[in-house]
Structure 1
Amino acid sequence: MNMETKNKLERFYRKNVWEPVTLGGALTLWSQRYGENVAVTENGRQLTYGQLETEAGSVAQGFLSSGFKRGDKIVLQIPNSMEFVIAIFALFKAGMIPVMALPAQRKTEIKGILEKSDARGYIIKDRYLGFDYKEMAREILSESCNGVRVIVLGENEEFTSFGELRADCVFSEAEAADSADIGLFLLSGGTTGIPKLIPRRHADYLYVAKETAGRCKLTSNSVYLAALPIAHNFPLGCPGLMGTLTAGGRIVICSVTSPDEIIPLIEEEKVTITGLVPAMASMCIEFLELGEEYDLSSLEVIQVGGSVLDPYLAQRVEKAFNCRLQQIFGIAEGLICCTDLKGSDYVRYHTQGKPISPYDEVLIVDEKGEEVPEGEYGELLVRGAYTIYGYYNLEEVNKDRISEECYFKTGDRARRLKDGNYQVAGRLTEMINRAGEKIIPSEIEELLLKNELISEVQVVGIKDKLLGEKICAFILEGSEKMSLNNIRNCLADMEVAAFKLPDQVAYISNWPLTSVGKIDRNKLRELGEKL
């Protein structure tokens, strides 16, 4: 990476793009602007902007008074709750850095995250969905991380109680962080190994939240349902929690990501916008089809992102929720694209939209790193006002992921259309190499979904000694099963090339999911290899 180029970009962003405001300072400004508006609602509880400011300041002072210092990393692993919101803003105000762990992550991942981040604190819920987080914390502390202090929401036993952190004195922000400092660590997606730490700065994260909120037309009347785990980038800042607060709207907390929690909350809280991953959107549609009537007329926008959304499901989403679909493609490392709410059916169903910022610089390159012609697929590279220059403390990885000119190599396969919208076809690692022929799984999936007997399908590459990889189509069980020959004939009738025809088919009752609700394609590959 050329440091001169990086420094030049940084100077430009500081002068022309970023606001000199920290995320903790932003809450103070919002409380002054929207003080009496309700900021957060959960299960009959609510906090106004002014009350959230007071609560966060009190807990911030409690962190400082109990021995934590500015710059300390604190791993936060609690489920969606009002306390989650209070905790992150308390840490922002105190100049500490929350590391956004997910409730579904377990011992190996959390131990690695604590060690990688050199965390001094670890905030957990006592129990959630039947899992004992205190026992996991004990096991981790007995093996390593002895200097880590555990703070518990709920029954704390030998650990520090989160409730006891509240201080009576007024918090002073004199020692707050600089807006260009690291404000939080997000975690890389992935389904194996220890997640990489993604450093996001106060200024860049506030910028992307505001820009996405603008693209979603959020106002003080907006009601955002936080249905996915808020520690994930999508519901945290795209526009999510942060973007809604920039507009003075209200956050509704969904404590469990499940259709029987999500759908009733939309009706009860008059939700206007929410965000789901494709697998959860599909489950919500199935829930609605069970027959019980729900009034979802308040819903104006449903965002779907996190993984590729096929056009068939996109149409089903709009029909089932009777509102505007907005596709969103993003990476926790930076770039966010989303479709225009007034875009055509083709744009909404078949593309992932345009970058949210005029300062996003996007390249589509081939295997040699050379830019491809418009309309052709290649790897998506990006640099911009909110895209990172590398993972935290991973210099060897960064050498491969950051170009000399400071572009981040996303590893996603995409193309730019003539109208400026982008189509993302999935990860480069998902592309199937069958006997030297490159196959994009989403292309086959989209064709298979034209068959009325197939409601959901995932195509993956399975290791094969002869072909290198063979094509396996996993289909969600329905009323009738199709044989491999029927599926191949169906595709052949659509004049699909012979090398793209599936080599095997398997029916599955439920999709294996990652910790953020995406379909776990690695698990599908493992299942395919056992067939």
Structure 2
Amino acid sequence: MSIAFTSWPPELAEHYRQKGYWTDVPMTDILTRHQQNPTDHLALICGERSWTYRQLEHDAERLAASLLQLGVQPGDTALVHLPNVAEFYITFFALMKLGVVPVNALFSHNQHELTVYAEQIRPTLAIVSSGHHLFRQSTFAQTLSEQVTSLKFCLVDGDADFGYSLAAAIAGTLMPCHAFSSQAKKAVSWPELNASDVAFFQLSGGSTGTPKLIPRTHNDYYYSVRASAEICRLDSDTVYLCALPAPHNYTLSSPGALGVFYAGGTVVLAAEPSPMTCFPLIQSHQITMAALVPSAVTLWLQAAADDRSALSSLQWLQVGGAHLGESLARRIYPKLGCHLQQVFGMAEGLVNYTRFEDSEWHVLHTQGRPISDDDEIRIVDENGDDVPRGTPGALLTRGPYTFRGYYNSPEHNRVAFDKDGFYRSGDVVVMTEDGYLMVVGRDKDQINRGGEKVAAEEVENQLLAVPEITQAALVAMPDSVMGEKSCAFIVTTNPKLKPLTIRKHLRMRGIADYKLPDRIEKVDALPMTHVGKIDKKALRQRIANLLKKQSQPQPEKDVLS
């Protein structure tokens, strides 16, 4: 059984095949293509553990076989919630080999997000980590299985008193501590994968109240991986540092770990992107390429000011996920000693890169140009009319790896796409005369908090669940490190309501910590536009003015003796 999704029109699908973008080869090929290599190159390093390409494929096969033995079937869906560990990739390839379609949640996600994802895909299987507070005990897993009755099996990475051991499943010695189901085990032959089918779900940053899922097919995603690897000149000598969350589209395929695996290079995992964690890894493993968001770049620049000797092997630093200012971009080569590649992409599809041969101006001022000649770009005004090059406008796109609709979201899709199937990205961009994009803002109601996208409506709905809050509006406020942080303006019936109490309430409702408002401002009333909507432009200006005033030195007061 394949996942139902909005596919490309037949004429476009045929065109993409004729152009060689779609090869009808499933993404399992990323690993299997290396299995005849006599050198058996190192594929993955995670702490003190490492995997060759043969070992990585072998572990993925054993996990897939264990899942078959357990009773998981091709066509099932899975909820995966793992940190930056090797088991994430083993799981990714095992599920793909088996024809099971996962959604890979971020490890920062909490019970709210995981429940929403599970309710959308109705998974048979959950693969989680006891390193997350939700799964140190069985309470949430049991609650989830009762709420989402399709969920029958749970594999746990780490020690737990529930579910099955993920380590045992990978080793081929599956030993249950507890099963959600007593289904009979039976062997199932490997399925023949159709590259036109959905391979997995990506996560949308979104701007609405419910997190949306993006169906990615083998054909469209594998093209993006292959093309990215070529543009970024990856080969078997590439040693790539994955320090941002592994499920992110950026670190998964732009070119990310999948691009490195495709090229036969080596991926080194880091738990998080701080210099304290990453600099020793770069020195120890002679890392040649890393990917960061601008807020992490700032920390790296500060740390390298004292000593950059650990970075001598680093040749390229990709920066994406949020806007990179020119002044910060200019400091990267002099301070870190590596070249900059700007990346502007989205989980929905379109990815842009500056190229290695680009001029300094393009690298410092633009966010690159699209992967494909068949990435169709429209930049339009508020009336939907195309604007001249050099003029800011809303970015619309369609192409061989840009999806055609969010999963099970027909009403939202009517707004997210125009009549010709162009996706409204929510970005405000300028296109240069030579086809490069410069990102100048967002027209969606979303905060880009250091690369993590926060949907305002989702948080506002959670704030309005606090009994004393009668109105709420979440807006972006400028931040020198993160680029943007969030500020919640609230109207409350309790003038003594404290921000700490509000954040505690939100945590109890299970939203991820990065979505918690960074600042909370009480107001008597929210400003409204002439059509009766909350005037968020006025609120953004209000908090920006307040921050500017607070940053200015205050005049000293005269002291009378």
TM-score after normalising by structure 1: 0.80
CA–CA distance in 2 between the matches of 1:307 and 1:503?
A: 24
Question: Which letter maps to 2:258?
Answer: M
Aligned equivalent of 2:396, options 378, 381, 387: 381
How far apart, in 2, do the equivalents of 1:157 and 1:75 lie?
19
Contact map agreement 1:338 1:353 (CA 8 A) in 2: yes
Q: Which runs of 5+ in 2 are unaligned?
A: 1-5, 175-186, 448-474, 490-525, 530-534, 552-561
Letter in structure 2 aligned against 1:346: W
Give CA deviations for 1:346-368 in whole Å, capped at 9, x if unaligned: 21111001001112111111112
Return the alpha-carbon distance in structure 2 between the equivalents of residues 55 and 208 of structure 1.
25
Q: 1:305 aligns with which of 320, 324, 333?
A: 320
- 1:99-114 equivalent positions in 2, closer than 5 A: 99-114=103-118
Residue 462 of structure 1 deviates from its aligned partner by 8.8
Residue 395 of structure 2 is aligned to residue 395 of structure 1 = no
CA distance in 1, matches of 2:337, 2:328: 14
Q: What SS does structure 2 have at the residue aligned with 1:59?
A: helix
Q: Give the aligned partner of residue 74 of structure 1.
A: 78
- Residue of structure 2 equivalent to 1:92: 96
Structure 2 residue 527 is the aligned partner of structure 1 residue 465: yes
- Taking a change above 3 Å as real, the CA distance of residues 174 and 123 of structure 1, as seen in their structure-2 partners, is closer
Question: Which of 46, 51, 56 matches 1:52?
Answer: 56
Shift of 1:321: 1.6
In the alignment, does 2:379 pair up with 1:364?
yes
Structure 1: distance between partners of 2:481 and 2:403? 38
CA 1:461/1:66 → structure 2, altered by over 3 Å: closer, same or farther? closer
Go from structure 1 to structure 2 and tell me whether the alpha carbon gap of 1:466 and 1:196 turns closer, same or farther (over 3 Å shift).
closer
The more displaced of 458-467 and 82-91 is 458-467
- In 2, distance between residues paired with 1:175 and 1:304? 38
**Quick one: structure 1 residues 165 and 5, their matched pair in 2 at CA, closer, same or farther if it must change by over 3 Å?**
closer
**262-271 or 228-237, larger mean C-alpha shift:** 262-271
How big is each residue's C-alpha offset from its partner over 1:323-367, in whole Å with a ceiling of 9 and x where there is no partner? 111110001000000111222222111100100111211111111
What is the identity, as a one-letter code, of the residue corresponding to 1:242? L
Match of 2:464?
none
1:292 is displaced (CA, Å) by 4.7
CA distance in 2, matches of 1:34, 1:234: 31
SS in 1 for 2:363: helix
User: Could you tell me how far apart the structure 1 residues matched to 2:371 and 2:550 are?
Assistant: 39
Structure 1 residue 250 and structure 2 residue 266: aligned?
Answer: yes
Paired residues, number: 462
Q: Distance in 2 between matches of 1:306 and 1:34?
A: 38
Residue pair 2:207, 2:445 contacting (<8 A) in 1 also: no
Instruction: Give the stretch that moved more between structures: 106-115 or 48-57.
Output: 48-57
Take 1:34 and 1:362, find their aligned partners in 2: how far apart are those partners?
Answer: 43
CA RMSD of superposed structures (Å): 3.1
Determine the structure 2 residue equivalent to 1:513: none
Equivalents in 1 of 2:324, 2:159: separation in Å?
A: 41
CA distance in 2, matches of 1:87, 1:120: 15
Q: Give me the whole-angstrom Cα distance separating, in 1, the residues matched to 2:164 and 2:330.
A: 49
Secondary structure of the corresponding residue to residue 184 of structure 1: strand
Q: Which runs of 5+ in 1 are unaligned?
A: 433-440, 476-500, 509-531
| Distance change in 2, residues 1:87/1:35 (3 Å) | farther
Distance 1:315 1:246, change over 3 A: same
Whole-angstrom distance in 1 between the partners of 2:374 and 2:189: 31
Mapped to 1, the partners of 2:372 and 2:275 lie a distance apart of 33
Contact 2:395/2:429 (<8 A) preserved? yes
Q: CA deviation at 1:30?
A: 2.5
Query: Would you say the 8 A contact 2:352–2:367 is kept in 1?
Result: yes
Whether 1:124 and 2:192 are equivalent positions in the alignment is: no
How far apart, in 1, do the equivalents of 2:318 and 2:443 lie? 24
Q: Distance in 2 between matches of 1:374 and 1:124?
A: 47
Q: Distance in 1 between matches of 2:309 and 2:142?
A: 45
State the partner residue of 2:223.
207
Among candidates 137, 141, 151, match of residue 138 of structure 1? 141
How far apart, CA to CA, are the structure 1 residues paired with 2:25 and 2:329?
Answer: 37
Superposed CA deviations along residues 15-38 of structure 1, whole A, max 9, x for unmatched, are 332122111233111222476100
* Displacement of 1:139: 5.9
- Structure 1 position 19 matched with structure 2 position 35: no
Amino acid at match of 1:44: E
Is 1:188 aligned with 2:250?
no
Q: Name the structure 2 match of 1:528.
A: none
> 1-side partners of 2:482 and 2:91: how far apart?
39
Q: Secondary structure at the match of 1:74?
A: strand
Q: Which amino acid aligns with 2:117?
A: I
Show the counterpart of 2:245.
229
Kept after mapping to 2: 8 A contact 1:471/1:503: no
Distance 1:38 1:419 in 2: 40
Q: Structure 1 residue 288 and structure 2 residue 331: aligned?
A: no
Q: In 2 relative to 1, CA 191–33 (structure 1 residues): closer, same or farther, beyond 3 Å?
A: farther
Which of 412, 417, 422 is the matching residue for 2:427? Answer: 412
Following the alignment from structure 2 to structure 1, what is the Cα–Cα distance between the partners of residues 232 and 267? 15
